[in-house]
Amino acid sequence: PAEWAKAPVAPGLLPGYNEELELRTMKFVGADSSAIRLSWKYLRSRKPDHPRKGTSIPEPKLSVLIGMDSKDSMSALKVMGFGATFSFLARYKWGCDMLHANPEGFSGGVFKTEGPTQEELEKGRFTTYVTAFGPNNNDRRARVKVSGPEPGYVATPILIVSLALTILDTGKADAGNDLSFDAGVTLPGALFGDSEKVYEHMRNEGVNFDVVDEFDDSQSPV
């Protein structure tokens, strides 16, 4: 709507400096934004009268960013270089064979053939910030901090099991059903978005969702 304030401009594929975050940011080219948008569209198609996400509510503009903790563009350019190389090689079988044979070389040492050690898994942490801008001005916003253990090998299984436990809970006679749908093929965001139980399961295992006012200086606000 015209009366809504203009949200901060999302960066493109080239890195730009974000004054609020004090980071170099660039567009994250993974599938995350598509999954979120499709979850929203699917929910609207099955529940057009949803009080917060129905067809009468304007679809929000979504930006998924990756940030580098530096005002220098060099870190972002390195990410672009590795990303472009990966995207090109992943198109071909011979390229995939090269990536599998030498993940260290094509990721700058981020990924290794043998995977992380037990110590790295125990010490690993992740923090992600999600910011929503309100309808009146940019000062009205909600910011949620999502944090937990090592994201790939530890937090991901926690998330999947939490979703499964939530579905099992809804089948119990004494449990209320706060899932969006009773049956059908759906996307996780559309099905579990309004469920308090799924967040309870995740919190019990160390994945937390907290409403915060400001970024935590000890973590990268990406």
Has residue 116 got a pLDDT over 70? Answer: yes
Most confidently modeled of 134-143, 163-172, 195-204? 195-204
How far apart, in whole angstroms, are the C-alpha atoms of residue 8 and residue 138? 8
**So what's the pLDDT on residue 150?**
93
Has residue 212 got a pLDDT over 60? Answer: yes
Q: Are 97 and 48 in contact (CB under 8 A)?
A: no
Note down the domain range covering 190. 116-222
What is residue 114's three-state secondary structure?
coil
What are the pLDDT digits (tens) for 49-82?
877 777 777 777 777 777 776 666 677 777 778 8
How many domains are there within the chain? 1
In a domain, 162, yes or no: yes
In a domain, 15, yes or no: no
Handedness of CA 116, 121, 122, 123 (dihedral sign): positive
In a domain, 51, yes or no: no
In a domain, 25, yes or no: no
Residue of higher predicted confidence among 134 and 27: 27
In a domain, 128, yes or no: yes
How far apart, in whole angstroms, are the C-alpha atoms of residue 111 and residue 89? 16
Has residue 94 got a pLDDT over 90? Answer: yes
Query: How many Cβ atoms are within 10 Å of 51's Cβ, its own excluded?
Result: 9
Average pLDDT estimate for 166-193? 78
Mean pLDDT across the chain, nearest whole number?
78
In a domain, 195, yes or no: yes
Q: Which of 89-98, 127-136, 196-205 has the lowest mean pLDDT?
A: 127-136
